Amino acid sequence: MFRLILFIIFLSSSVFAQGEIPSYLELKLHTELSEIKSNLESDITTRSIGSNIYKTNAPKTAIILTPSSSGSGALIGNDGLIITNYHVISNDEGVSPLIMVGFCTSEKYDPNASDTIFRAEVVSYIIKKDLALIKLERNKIKSKNYNVEPYSIETDMNNVLIGDDVHAIGNPQGENCTYTRGFVSQLRDNYKWYEHTANIVQTQTPINPGNSGGPLISNDGKIIGINSFKRTDSPGLNYAVSADEVVAFLNNPPVIPKITNSNNCKYANEGKIEEKENYTLRKWDMDCDNYFEREDVDYNKDGYYDEYFYDENKNLKDELIIAWIKKNGKWVLQYNYDNNEDGVTEKQCIDLNDNKKQDVGECKNI
């Protein structure tokens, strides 16, 4: 009994003030509470909410490529509907003739897993709001159908407050599937930029060219805006077309005219010449569909083309590159075949007898 009293006094000296002798029930309660607190602390993690936002939403964030640009998008329908910016899927002549789409993954970026193998067609757009709706062409998909839960869109912007955490996933400057985080800086109605006017969400969440068309995401995983533009002279001023504009667009998407061949096969016979700063580019639209399947490059602008790039299956990847090389003191053509379009040449032929075809002994697998 004497030992028990000493033990209780010892406990009280470390937990309770001197002179306060706790009862047995108080000691029992304190022990139980300590165990509960210990169990809770073992389950607490300091991992940011951003890791969960990325893991959940990256697989529904699109990588969008066209012949003239790259950008981002957000999957919003189980049938393959994707919301993005109009300027992502357009060019100087209107809507881009080819749109290829890939998707991020929930883990570390893998270019093979996020390959742009999906073709997409334009469903609708509204230039004034800089919004566009595209849809995956499932009959042209090389792999199995893409099947993830689409994004939800915030339908009441009153739920979005100044100072709220927001998250962005996109493809800035070709750095695909990049996550950034910031705050809502302000909500601005009828905001004007370039030729556009729309309600916008101003944020200091870092975005850059390539983020355009990607989602601005709330902590509960909803799209509150489509990242669209930034002030280049002020890195902290970034803007997204507000979710209420997106909802209005989706509820009443404008009917767009059918795309027609506007060049009348001009570039099938003559090619289109583009003078760049350091080289000359000649592009060919052989079947008059507004997509250039072949591009020739004159690197030193001497009037002779040095390389010819062929994308005959029209997916923004070259399966054949022909180049002039010097062999045994003679200029001959070298044919580089990338049949699986992974960026690596599998077969190479050198036209040693200059008959513009590959004869036996002129080709090798590499």
Positions annotated as catalytic residues are 87, 130, 212
Compute the distance between CA of residue 253 and CA of residue 250 in angstroms, rounded to an integer: 5
CB 202 within 8 A of CB 237: yes
Tokens of 258: 């059918």
Residue 80 has a CB neighbour count (10 Å cut-off) of 22
Compute the distance between CA of residue 80 and CA of residue 146 in angstroms, rounded to an integer: 8
Burial-class residue 125 by CB neighbours within 10 Å (0-12, 13-18, 19+): buried
Paired sense of beta strands 330-337 and 320-327, if any: antiparallel
Q: Concatenate the DSSP letters of all residues of 250-269 into one string.
A: HHSPPP-PPP---STTHHHH
Tokens of 6: 């000493």
Using CA atoms, how far residue 9 sits from 20, 25, 34, 141, 151, in Å, is: 9, 15, 18, 76, 60
Tokens of 97: 């003739």
**Alpha-helical runs (H) found in the chain:** 2-15, 24-43, 49-57, 243-251, 266-269
